[in-house]
Amino acid sequence: MENNTVNFENVFNDKIGKNEYIEPKDWMPEKYRKTLIRQISQHAHSEVIGMQPEGNWITRAPSLRRKAILLAKIQDEGGHGLYLYSACETLGISREELIRQLHTGAAKYSSIFNYPALNWADIGAIGWLVDGAAIVNQVSLQRTSYGPYSRAMVRICKEESFHQRQGYELLLELCRGSKEQKAMAQDAMNRWWWPSLMMFGPHDADSAHSADSIKWKIKRETNDELRQKFIDKTVAQAEFLGLTIPDPDLKWNEARGHYDFGKIDWEEFNNVIKGNGPCNKQRLEHHVKVHNENAWVREAANAYAAKKAKAAKGALVA
Amino acid sequence: MSNNSNAALLEFVLRLGDNNLILGHRLSEWCSNGPFLEEDIALSNIALDYLGQTRILYTYAGTLEGGKTEDFYAYERFEHEFTNALITELPNGDYAHSIARQLYYSVFADLLLTELMKSKDATLSGYAAKAIKETAYHLRHATDWTLRLGDGTEESHQRMQKAIDDLFMYTGDMFATTEKEKSLVAAGIAPDVPALKAAWTKKVESVLKEATLTMPDAATWQMQGSRTNRHTEHIGYIIAEMQYVTRAYPGNKW
Ligand SMILES: [Fe+2]
Ligand SMILES: [Fe+2]
């Protein structure tokens, strides 16, 4: 503290060390800011792109009750996107720029949403497995070091656990139902299991961003730790449904106190990340198309707001 | 209640329910297609309100028919059995078309529900008291967007005027009634729907004026059909999509 200057970096590190939140006005290393923008925007985009596979079933939902649950869920996901865009904007980047980055491919979204929702049971599997995997990640992120991100996670987690329960309940109905319904559920399980495990990202040793993120407490647990947690809590749930997890190597390991599981197909994962998943093009092109086709609506809203602001100012002067 | 008045009540309740179901279905198609995220959410929210109203009404219809479920009415009737107003089944079009439809319909629903709150049928008046709160928000949403689009840019003004003009010929059908319904009006159960037309015109006119838009000519020819089983072609696709799973796997619970 000589010369009355504050060493901002020390203050920052001190806060991280003491598990105090970093707030938007605090000094932060440029790389911390960049890492956060990358992670939060990826998270926001995932919420929004994730509306597509589920939205694809709203008009075909087989009961009014399920339709209402699905609509409300997708609406929640849109809301999550909004909180997260806002959290990201506190880091000095605009929503417009974030969307531009999504459209150019500079920003990513979760690879899981590049898989198609093909049958009605997929809506259950997405809620149970995809929201389930997201919860494991997000519960951990409630303790992330950036204040606005942490607070967004707290709000979001409450809703995600509803989604998971509702997804599970949908599958339970199918598994207690006819042969065809059960087959539908197993088919969904077969297609969503491995991509759900991939949601946690590469193994720690191969993860490009993990070390810094852990050091700065942006991430509190590693990809592998979170993945293991998810598997450990999901196996019994699958058994209760009477569904088979499509992994012959899945086995309880008494010594580790965890389930062992088979090798994840990282070649598939890397290809989906690179844009070769079944729906990458479809999802992104859809977002771009809708955004561009509706530009005139946003322009009109801005023009109208500007007119009203001008009129209000004029009235004040007069 | 006599069989006749029961049939009349059922017909009226299904008319209200079908309007909500089909318009909600159309609005739900905006999910992931909205002009920006906030509007995507707002439209899903309105769709969800309509769906909630549908369920109240279909549940009531089920009790009138002695034990049919809400899902029966959505999933086990054929397209010609739906009695929704034609305007609710039209494709969404661009955002201006969907907003124009929301304006026309919300003004109508607001007037209808205001009267229905006075119904001698406790279930209907209770439904109306709940629904009118939602409809007040739908009307505000539609009005705000009519103003923004009408008085926004040159392009939005033109699109909005075109939408208002295109859809006007379907508005008269919202007010169509039947002989059975007239008997309910006499009994103080249903509002006199055709009589709402004057107030509707006045309200729509005032919103359009503020939005710098022109009210279509009152003499415009009006398409009719929703009370005589004459739908547009669009209903078939809505029903096909909605009922696909339940028809493919009949007799299952979902
Ligand atoms: Fe979410
Ligand atoms: Fe969710």
- ipTM of the shown complex: 0.97
Q: Which chain A residues are closer than 8 Å to B47 by Cβ?
A: 71
In B100-240, DSSP assigns E strands to: none
Q: Give Dmax over CA atoms of chain B in angstroms.
A: 58
**Angle, CA A229 vertex, CA A264 and CA A70 arms, to 5°:** 85
- Quote the pLDDT of residue B2: 67
C-beta of residue B239 within 8 angstroms of C-beta of residue B90:
no
Q: What is the mean pLDDT of residues A215-221?
A: 91
Per-residue pLDDT tens over the stretch B37-66: 999 999 999 999 999 999 999 999 999 998
Cα–Cα distance for residue pair A113/A193, rounded to 1 Å: 13
Distance from the alpha carbon of residue B216 to the mean position of ligand 1, in angstroms: 44
Quick count: other Cβ atoms within 10 Å of Cβ A251?
A: 12
- Give yes or no for B92 touching A (CB within 8 A): no
Cα–Cα distance for residue pair A305/B139, rounded to 1 Å: 19
Cα–Cα distances in angstroms (integers) from residue A147 to residues A42, A154, A210, in the given order: 18, 11, 20
Q: Which residues pair with A252 in a beta bridge?
A: A259
Q: What is the mean pLDDT of residues A68-95?
A: 97
pTM score: 0.96
- Quote the pLDDT of residue A5: 66
Q: How far is CA B120 from the centre of its chain?
A: 22
Give the pLDDT band (50/70/90) at residue A210: confident
Residue of chain B nearest A121, judged by CA positions? B254
Task: Tell me the pLDDT of chain B averaged across its residues.
Answer: 97
Cα–Cα distance for residue pair B31/B44, rounded to 1 Å: 6
Instruction: State how far residue A216 is from chain B, nearest Cα, in angstroms.
Output: 31
Q: What is the mean pLDDT of residues A283-301?
A: 98
For chain B, which residues score pLDDT lower than 50? none
Query: Which-ligand-closest: CA of A79?
Result: 1
Distance from the alpha carbon of residue A44 to the mean position of ligand 1, in angstroms: 9
**Angle, CA A121 vertex, CA A120 and CA A127 arms, to 5°:** 110
Cα–Cα distance for residue pair A103/A96, rounded to 1 Å: 11
Specify the DSSP element, H or E, that contains B200.
helix B197-210
Q: What is the mean pLDDT of residues A124-142?
A: 96
Distance from the alpha carbon of residue B125 to the mean position of ligand 2, in angstroms: 36
Q: Which chain B residues are closer than 8 Å to A79 by Cβ?
A: 41
**Of A7-16, A233-242, B88-97, B242-251, which range is least confident?**
A7-16
CATH fold of B3-248: Ferritin (1.20.1260)
Cα–Cα distance for residue pair A305/A193, rounded to 1 Å: 47
Per-residue pLDDT tens over the stretch A147-182: 999 999 999 998 999 999 999 999 999 999 999 999
Asked whether the predicted pLDDT for residue A304 surpasses 60, the reply is: yes
Give the pLDDT band (50/70/90) at residue A244: very high
Instruction: State how far residue B181 is from chain A, nearest Cα, in angstroms.
Output: 27
Cα–Cα distance for residue pair B37/A77, rounded to 1 Å: 11
Q: What is the mean pLDDT of residues A59-75?
A: 98
- Quote the pLDDT of residue A209: 72
- Quote the pLDDT of residue A3: 55
**Of A30-44, A65-79, A202-216, B8-22, which range is least confident?**
A202-216
Task: Tell me the pLDDT of chain A averaged across its residues.
Answer: 95
Give the pLDDT band (50/70/90) at residue A1: very low
Residue type, B201: T
Cα–Cα distance for residue pair A99/A49, rounded to 1 Å: 12
